A and B are shown apart, each in its own frame.
Chain A
Amino acid sequence: MSDQRTSADSDSPLRARGTQCAALVIAWAIVGVPAGWGVAQTVRKSVPLFTAPAASHAATQPGASR
């Protein structure tokens, strides 16, 4: 009986730590997922800056190395 109580007592801090760890992961995921989606959308939108100018510049200056 006394052994059982000791085991339960030692389990509860571990359980609390596990619960808090799970809460941390969930909380950060709730804000991280939409933030990541927003960043990904912005990066996708930024691509033309590094592709379109080069293409149009090359078109206006044939043979230019830049």
Chain B
Amino acid sequence: MGSASFLGKEASVAPAGYNRWLVPPAALAIHLSIGQVYAYSVFKLPLTQVLAVKGQTGDWTQGQVAVMFSIAIAVLGLSTAIFGGWLERAGPRMAMFVAAICFGSGFLVSALGVKTHQIWLIYLGYGVVGGVGLGLGYLAPVATLIRWFPDRPGMATGLAIMGFGGGGMIGSPLAINLMQHFRSPHSVGAAEAMVAMGIIYFCFMMFGVFTVRIPAPDWKPAGWTPAAKSSAMITTGNVPAKAAMRTPQFYLQWLVLCTNTTAGIGILEQASPMIQEMFRGRVFEAAAGGFVGILSLFNMAGRFFWSSTSDYIGRKATFMTFFLLGIALYALVPSTAANKWDSILLFVAMCGVLISMYGGGFATLPAYVRDLFGAKDFGPIYGRLLTAWSVAGVAGPLLVNYIRRYRIDHGVSPADAYSTVLYVMSGILAIGFIANLLIRPVSGKAYGQGRMSEAAALGAGRMPLPVDPNTPAR
């Protein structure tokens, strides 16, 4: 009972004088942990050798192992859509606690799957159970930070989502070191490493659970007053989640996220082989690994840089930059190849900027959603939008591999086949550009009974303070 109340929404309301800068570390503890999903590939090779080290046959293929990642990302998007409303009711502390339980136990179930060599247990553990942890862990800190930093929502959510980008940088060397530590003549060390990681991540995420607070209903930053007249693209009202689903803005934002993510995955998915093919004989495996590392840094930094920039230039303008600059860079990257400009530095710089905008898209979207629909039903609306990520996460790699294979089968060299992929990504961004261009403020009708003042929405409570529902959103 005591623990249940501690995890409850009321118990996590911050006392007067609480420093809001304690909340980003809580959010980072969760996002740095669940960002491990970006480093899942370090398990790929060891998991294909589980039986071989014992002198047995029947090992899994890399393709079979890769499914665990696809399931995890798909479940991430689904669980944010399904549990977004519950999160608003239960509060972030409870949601983060459930996320820690799911993410940690997902590793333990997967470890059992490795030990017993049952791949379905890995799919269930890392994919389904861990995927729910990913979804709740992704959404809860973002939904909390957006209420603590109404004056700088882009920067605040960018900070947390930067952690998700950086999680792979911790997860990869951590898993490698643990597997090396536990490796024996009869074990690749993967199961033991998964047990250790499950425990480590659970403890680390619990720091976030204990630290997170939500602002009191009437709280606002010292010296800050919601602008009476601000940008036309920033509402001072709140659109209910159900009404938001009936607006074209919701679907346009969905398309914006889906296209931006698909294009980014176009590079991320093929980064290592792409640089080796485009600069054949000059870039080998170790250097290609370095390229992947550079992209991770740009991915992480872009999340903070672009979302913070969006606080000054606006969300729509930020996404316009992503799409226009992205279209140009994707079209130019093939020209940096060895048979044209022959510049590795230019290739790396362009890809870095592209990946920074891929990460920046994730980090800027929460504030874009809040701008258009308000803060009250942010969780369920943003959660449903994240299904675009699931679609892009599955469709993106399929599209890239299909186009590349198709071109190679038709006699095109591997390096030139990548060029085609990049031109297609440029076209996909053009679709995103049009979708973003069409986004307008939500009409007054969508607010219905859910419209209330910004000040009331910023707090933890859901106290309706109705204003004229016919007043159009600004």
On A, residues with C-beta under 8 Å from B are 16, 20, 23-24, 27-28, 30-31, 34-35, 37-39, 41-43, 45-50, 52-53, 56-57, 60
Which of B283, B284, B293 has most A Cβ within 10 Å?
Answer: B293
Complex Cα gap A41–B17 (Å):
38
Tell me whether B290 is interfacial, beta carbon within 8 Å: yes
Neighbour of B297 across the interface among A46, A52, A56, A60, CB < 8 A: A46
Contact partners of B293 in chain A: CB under 8 A: 42-43, 45-46, 49
Q: Which 3 A-B pairs have the closest CB atoms?
A: A49-B290, A38-B169, A38-B170
Which positions 257-299 of chain B face chain A at CB distance < 8 Å?
A: 279, 281-284, 286-291, 293-294, 296-297
Nearest residue in A to B344 (C-beta to C-beta)? A53
Contact partners of A60 in chain B: CB under 8 A: 281-282
Answer whether A53 and B287 are a contact pair too, CB < 8 Å, given A41-B169, A43-B293, A46-B297.
Answer: yes
Nearest residue in A to B283 (C-beta to C-beta)? A53
Contact partners of A28 in chain B: CB under 8 A: 25
Complex Cα gap A37–B172 (Å):
11
Complex Cα gap A56–B282 (Å):
6
Interface size on B, residues (CB 8 A): 37
Contact partners of A41 in chain B: CB under 8 A: 169, 172-173
Instruction: Give chain A nearest CB distance to B172 CB in angstroms.
Output: 8
Complex Cα gap A30–B22 (Å):
12
Tell me whether B207 is interfacial, beta carbon within 8 Å: yes
Contact partners of A31 in chain B: CB under 8 A: 25, 28-29, 32, 163
Known pairs A24-B22, A57-B282; list 11 more (Cβ under 8 Å).
A16-B17, A20-B22, A23-B19, A31-B32, A35-B28, A35-B32, A42-B296, A46-B294, A49-B290, A53-B344, A60-B281
Provide the B198-215 mask, 1 if CB < 8 A to any CB of A, else 0.
000000100100010000
On B, residues with C-beta under 8 Å from A are 17, 19, 21-22, 25-26, 28-29, 32, 163, 166-167, 169-170, 172-173, 204, 207, 211, 279, 281-284, 286-291, 293-294, 296-297, 300, 344, 348
Complex Cα gap A22–B211 (Å):
14
Contact partners of B348 in chain A: CB under 8 A: 49
Complex Cα gap A38–B77 (Å):
26
Nearest residue in B to A56 (C-beta to C-beta)? B282
Answer whether A23 and B22 are a contact pair too, CB < 8 Å, given A34-B32, A50-B290.
Answer: yes
Neighbour of A49 across the interface among B169, B172, B291, CB < 8 A: B291
Instruction: Give chain A nearest CB distance to B259 CB in angstroms.
Output: 28
Complex Cα gap A42–B352 (Å):
14
Contact partners of B286 in chain A: CB under 8 A: 48, 52
Contact partners of B300 in chain A: CB under 8 A: 39
Nearest residue in B to A13 (C-beta to C-beta)? B17
A45 touches B22 (CB 8 A): no
B279 touches A53 (CB 8 A): yes
Contact partners of B163 in chain A: CB under 8 A: 31, 35
Contact partners of B296 in chain A: CB under 8 A: 42
Contact partners of A30 in chain B: CB under 8 A: 25, 29, 207
Answer whether A27 and B26 are a contact pair too, CB < 8 Å, given A35-B170, A43-B293, A46-B297.
Answer: yes
A34 touches B283 (CB 8 A): no
A49 touches B166 (CB 8 A): no
Instruction: Give chain B nearest CB distance to A33 CB in angstroms.
Output: 10
Complex Cα gap A23–B296 (Å):
30
A45 touches B289 (CB 8 A): yes
A–B pairs, 30, beta carbons within 8 Å: A20-B17, A20-B19, A23-B22, A24-B21, A27-B22, A27-B25, A28-B25, A30-B25, A30-B207, A31-B29, A31-B32, A31-B163, A34-B204, A35-B163, A37-B170, A39-B300, A42-B297, A43-B293, A45-B289, A45-B290, A45-B293, A48-B289, A49-B283, A49-B293, A49-B348, A52-B283, A52-B284, A52-B290, A53-B344, A57-B282
A34 touches B289 (CB 8 A): no
Complex Cα gap A30–B355 (Å):
27
Which of A27, A39, A56 has most B Cβ within 10 Å?
Answer: A27
Answer whether A48 and B290 are a contact pair too, CB < 8 Å, given A31-B32, A31-B163, A60-B281.
Answer: yes
Complex Cα gap A48–B281 (Å):
15
B29 touches A39 (CB 8 A): no
Complex Cα gap A47–B25 (Å):
30
